[in-house]
Amino acid sequence: MLVEDFIIYVYCLVDDFYQKEITIPLRTRGREPKLTDPEVITMEIVGEWSGHHTDKGIWEYFKGYWLPLFPNLPARSHFVRQASNLWKVKQLFHQYLCHQLRADTCNVHLIDGFPIELCKLTRVRKCKSFKGYANYGYCASKSMRYYGFHGHLLVDERGIPVEFTLTAENVDERDAA
pLDDT digits (tens, 9 = 90+) for 136-153: 888 888 888 988 898 888
Provide the mean pLDDT of the chain.
89
pLDDT given at position 177: 65
**Cα–Cα dist 49/129, whole Å:** 30
Q: Which of 38-47, 106-115, 146-155, 167-176 has the lowest mean pLDDT?
A: 167-176
Percentage of the residues of the chain whose pLDDT score is greater than 90: 46
Whole-number pLDDT of residue 35: 93
User: Which pLDDT score is estimated for 28?
Assistant: 74
d(CA 91, CA 46): 16
Tell which phi-psi region holds residue 90, choosing left (phi > 0), alpha (psi between -120 and 50) or beta.
alpha
pLDDT tens per residue, range 84-134: 999 999 999 999 998 888 887 888 888 888 888 888 888 888 888 888 888
Under 8 Å CB-to-CB from 140, ≥6 apart: which residues? none
55-59 average pLDDT score: 95
